[in-house]
Amino acid sequence: MRYRHLQIVILLSAGTLTAQQQRPLRAVHDQAPSKVLYSVDKSSETVDITNVAFEVVGPGIPGRPTDERLVLRKTTQTKQVLGEVGIEATTTIAAWPLGGDFMEKPVYSITLYGTDPRTLNSEVLVVSRGLEEVEWWSIYKLGTGEHLFDTDVPLVQFSAKRDERDLRYLGIEVPPDDTVDTRLRAPNVVGVLTYASSGGVIREALLTSDSAQNARLLRSFADSTRTLEFVNGRIVLSISRNYPSRPSTVSIVVPVAGDDMDLAKAQLPPGIHAAAWKR
């Protein structure tokens, strides 16, 4: 069983800073500390770690001025009781224009449960959310800090056009038991397939099964494993039963046409359906 608790805070900057080439040469300092604390009591050992990392990204970040670079301050706080499964972890990502003052309001700030924040293609932020037994990731716009989508398999990326760099992103989300969208609590729901660019979600497809029992097996992380890939212009989602059961792999194939999922031509196993869906 998996539960998600997400807290996001986005702070928008009040104005646009002057161009970087017009700034005088100066040093910009931030003294955010990294630290580790080890404690022992009669029954357990606990390690608390705070890691602070900086990254410069850009130029060409979608949603920002073309020549602007951003400085990201990524702060991750973890607490682990040694010998126990899982950890507690909170990550905060704050962004400022390069050359700005860290005492000023950031362009945005995101705080959520998770670890290992990383940037991809100067377009998106990827944060690992799997703090216990199940791995999953949240995807955000790098330029604005807005949430794009969640995925329970590693993020898939591909170029939408052969002759230029125009990236698209894929994910599959299996709704958790505590999902706030009551539509996704229906017993026949298998998951939500997402097709997105760095600018936003282009299409979501709701996958369902005629059999509630089959849907439960396809949703299960204990009983099934999911893989997602883009092959020869098609999105291929494979769901296989875990050992000791036979794999009995179910494949859902959705072609991409006109920069969208062509759900009308999707190749689906008997009893499985894919329909356009919006949050």
The tens digit of pLDDT for each residue in 110-145 reads 999 999 999 999 999 999 998 677 889 999 999 999
In this prediction the pTM is 0.84
163 and 56 share one domain: no
33 and 82 share one domain: yes
Mean pLDDT, to the nearest integer, of 236-260? 93
128 forms bridges with which residues in the sheet?
A: 115, 137
pLDDT exceeds cutoff 70 at 14: no
Residue 244 φ then ψ, to 5°: -90, 5
User: Do the beta carbons of residue 206 and residue 268 sit within 8 Å?
Assistant: no
43 and 112 share one domain: yes
pLDDT band at 177 (very low <50, low <70, confident <90, very high): confident
Question: Range of 177's domain?
Answer: 152-279
Q: What pLDDT score does 255 carry? A: 97
Question: Between residues 206 and 15, which one has the greater pLDDT?
Answer: 206
Mean pLDDT, to the nearest integer, of 166-189? 92
Mean pLDDT rounded to a whole number for the chain:
87
Mean pLDDT, to the nearest integer, of 43-58? 91
Q: What pLDDT score does 219 carry? A: 92
CA distance 173 to 185: 13
In a domain? residue 34: yes
5 and 103 share one domain: yes
67 and 195 share one domain: no
In a domain? residue 147: no
Q: Quickly count: other Cβ atoms within 10 Å of residue 212's Cβ.
A: 12
User: Do the beta carbons of residue 144 and residue 121 sit within 8 Å?
Assistant: no
Q: What pLDDT score does 164 carry? A: 65
Q: Domain end: 142, 173, 200, which one? A: 142
In a domain? residue 94: yes
Q: Domain end: 95, 119, 142, which one? A: 142
Mean pLDDT, to the nearest integer, of 8-25? 42
Q: Total structural domains in the chain? A: 2
In a domain? residue 122: yes
Helix, strand and coil percent figures for the chain, each rounded to 5 = 5, 45, 45
160 and 93 share one domain: no
Q: What pLDDT score does 163 carry? A: 59
Rounding to the nearest 10 degrees, give the CA dihedral for residues 278, 12, 110, 226: 30
Q: Domain end: 113, 142, 171, which one? A: 142
225 and 279 share one domain: yes
Q: What pLDDT score does 33 carry? A: 78
In a domain? residue 156: yes
116 and 177 share one domain: no
Which residue type is seen at 159? Answer: S
104 and 186 share one domain: no
161 and 278 share one domain: yes
135 and 186 share one domain: no
Q: Which helix (H) or strand (E) holds 215?
A: helix 212-219
61 and 117 share one domain: yes
pLDDT band at 94 (very low <50, low <70, confident <90, very high): very high
